[in-house]
Amino acid sequence: MTTHPRNYKRLAGTRGGIHSLWLADDHLLLLSHHWFSEEYRRFFFRDIQQISVAKTHGAMILNIVLGLFILLLAGAIPLVEVWQGLGVWIALAALLGVFNLLKGPSCVCELRTAVQTVRLKPLRRLRRAQKVLTRLRPLIEAAQGGPATSELITSGRIAPQAPAPAAATATVQRPLRHCHGRAHLILFWLCLADLPLTAVAYFNDQGWMDALGLAHFFASVGFAIAALVQQQHSDLPSSLKRIPILVLVSDGFFLVTGIGYTVFLISAGRLQPGQNIAWQSDPFMLAMTAVSTSFIVACGLAGLVLRKKSRFPPAAPPPAPPSDQP
């Protein structure tokens, strides 16, 4: 059992968790558990050059995944006779989504010294990271004998003034990460594949086509989420970054519309629970399928054109720190 000295105070992470961050009088302690071993890393306040916090979309992506999961289960309720099991999973996913929403946006926090840059994994939420930075600011100032500038504190960075050379204390902006957009390329081709799949399903209404269409839907959603993860803090053009979002919004909108229409048909007595809608002969479903397919194919074409125009130049190197030599 791990025991901690009494002068250590936990800043982030759960007691006994995989990663935790502890505060001592003159340093930070990063504790990591690896199966049957533990790793201790100490960072003295006098050696800290920068603590950077970058907001990410991890929490938002998790909520999107949970929302789609809830919509899929809700759409299956009218098609089954025993719906209580689905209701339990919907409630659990909703609770997880609310808990994730209450914790706030996600972030990546890194600590930099003269010899290393370490990711502070216990600080994964922006709200918690900001509180920790506020608490560390006076301690770092006292250890290094200089106040941190208000601009750096506001932007989520602490760069205390130290008596070290200017090159060691210079604040370097975090460079954009180069992204090749492979997940985007797969997503765009999946969008284009929606047209032939829909055409084949229109003339060949069989069960294996329904299974293939469902697999294509999950693949599109999965690669759209993967594209959102890859494009975080990357050098991809903003116009290219919007397309995965448009694909997810479109899939969610038409999924909700289809579920609502199914519930309407069942409540009106025009469809029995467990019976599938023949969208080829239903005017509303046919029109919705045509609009959805057209929009998704347009997203795929636009994505391929924008990706080709961008040509993915190599990422610019980070700016060099100022030199002491005249």
Distance of CA 317 to the CA centre of its chain: 25
Is 158 within 8 Å of 136 (Cβ atoms)?
Answer: yes
Instruction: Quote the pTM value.
Output: 0.58
Q: Do 110 and 191 share a domain, yes or no?
A: no
* Integer angstrom CA distances of residue 102 from 29, 63, 70, 126: 27, 11, 18, 12
Contact 14, 20 (CB under 8 A): yes
Structural domains of the chain, count: 2
In a domain, 229, yes or no: yes
Same domain, 182 and 287: yes
Residue 276 burial (C-beta neighbours within 10 Å; 0-12, 13-18, 19+): exposed
Angle, vertex CA 246, rays to CA 242 and CA 250, nearest 5: 175
Q: Do residues 267 and 77 touch, judged by C-beta distance below 8 A?
A: no
**β-pairing verdict for 50-55 and 37-44:** unpaired
First CA to last CA distance, the chain: 56
Are residue 250 and residue 303 in the same domain, yes or no?
A: yes
Kindly state whether residues 26 and 165 are assigned to the same domain. yes
Instruction: Looking at the structure, tell me whether residues 153 and 222 fall in a common domain.
Output: no
CATH assignment at residue 153: 2.30.29
Q: Which domain range does residue 269 map to?
A: 177-310
Place of tokens 């808990």: 99
152 with 202, same domain: the answer is no
According to the 3-state scheme, what is the secondary structure of 218-243? HHHHHHHHHHHHHCCCECCCHHHHHH
The per-residue pLDDT string of the chain (326 residues; one tens digit each, 9 = 90 and over) reads 454 545 888 888 776 668 888 898 888 988 888 777 888 889 999 888 888 888 888 888 888 888 888 877 777 766 666 666 777 888 888 899 889 888 888 888 889 988 888 889 899 899 899 899 988 988 888 888 766 543 344 444 444 444 443 333 333 345 667 778 888 999 999 999 999 999 888 888 777 777 788 888 888 888 888 888 888 778 888 889 899 989 988 888 888 888 788 778 877 877 776 667 777 888 888 898 999 999 999 999 999 998 888 765 444 455 555 544 44
Are residues 287 and 164 part of one domain?
A: no
- 237 within domain boundaries: yes
